[in-house]
């Protein structure tokens, strides 16, 4: 076979395309997906979804070719019972590697029974585990005006759940932000737009470390 300059160019181009396809295939194989199942704290309450910390974090991962893809299934006002009802369909639609549960705040604000909240969260964890999905639970805190006994029981359920179910535990992501009025909306419960970038920078590293551990 006589190899002309034109033939050599086509062969080189073909090899280059095959190399790029191989690299992209490996990159996709190493990329993990995570479903964020949360409430208004993750649903960009009071702003557009694109301004919220989940979207900002996902954009950061895309821009920097990080091996993590986020799917935000958070809804403002969501309770543990509501999320549990939605979870089977969500997992059927999104076959993810990880589930991050950021829930319970609305249950606590409604004074729901601690056992009921725990049961709902446990059911979500077990449902994910049955499908081979790794799980992380986010610590949630509520205002102290619900009484010390209830508040203590509520806040302690998260570490207990993580230990009993042998899942990953993440600290409350707005722990320090919630005490800074300039970073909170007028209701004193939800972080404002300025705070979203701060939350995102914190979660970018935490989530990557979680899936790469």
Residue 19 has pLDDT above 60, yes or no: no
User: Annotated catalytic, 187?
Assistant: yes
Residue 159 has pLDDT above 90, yes or no: yes
Q: Which of 40, 42, 74, 80 is catalytic?
A: 40
Give the pLDDT confidence score for residue 2 in this predicted structure.
56
Dist. CA 40–CA 30, nearest whole Å: 30
Task: Confirm if 182 and 195 have CB atoms less than 8 A apart.
Answer: no
pTM for the predicted model, two decimal places: 0.86
User: Annotated catalytic, 176?
Assistant: no
Question: How much of the chain, in percent, has pLDDT values that exceed 90?
Answer: 84
Dist. CA 70–CA 96, nearest whole Å: 9
Q: Which of 39, 60, 74, 190 is catalytic?
A: 190
Return the higher-pLDDT residue of 206 and 25.
206
- In the sheet with 134-138, reading across from the earlier edge strand, the strands are 68-72, 32-38, 98-102, 134-138, 168-170
User: Annotated catalytic, 40?
Assistant: yes
Backbone angles phi, psi at 53, to 5 degrees: -65, -35
């Amino acid at each position: 076979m006589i190899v002309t300059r034109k033939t050599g160019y086509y062969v080189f181009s073909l090899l280059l395309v095959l190399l790029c396809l191989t690299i992209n295939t490996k990159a996709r194989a190493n990329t993990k997906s995570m479903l964020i199942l949360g409430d208004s704290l993750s649903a960009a309450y009071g702003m557009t979804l694109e301004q919220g910390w989940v979207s900002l974090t996902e954009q950061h991962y895309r821009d920097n070719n990080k091996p993590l893809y986020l799917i935000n299934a958070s809804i403002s006002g969501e309770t543990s019972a509501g999320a549990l009802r939605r979870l089977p369909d969500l997992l059927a639609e999104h076959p993810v590697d990880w589930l991050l549960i950021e829930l319970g705040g609305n249950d606590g604000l409604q004074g729901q029974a601690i056992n009921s909240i725990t049961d709902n969260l446990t059911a979500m964890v077990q449902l994910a585990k049955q499908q081979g999905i790794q799980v992380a639970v986010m610590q949630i805190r509520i205002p102290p005006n619900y009484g010390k006994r209830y508040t203590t029981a509520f806040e302690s359920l998260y570490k207990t759940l993580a230990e009993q179910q042998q899942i990953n535990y993440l600290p409350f992501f707005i722990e320090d932000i919630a005490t800074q009025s300039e970073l909170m909306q007028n209701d004193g419960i939800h972080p404002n737009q300025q705070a979203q970038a701060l939350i995102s920078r914190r979660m970018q590293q935490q989530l990557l470390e979680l899936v790469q551990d």
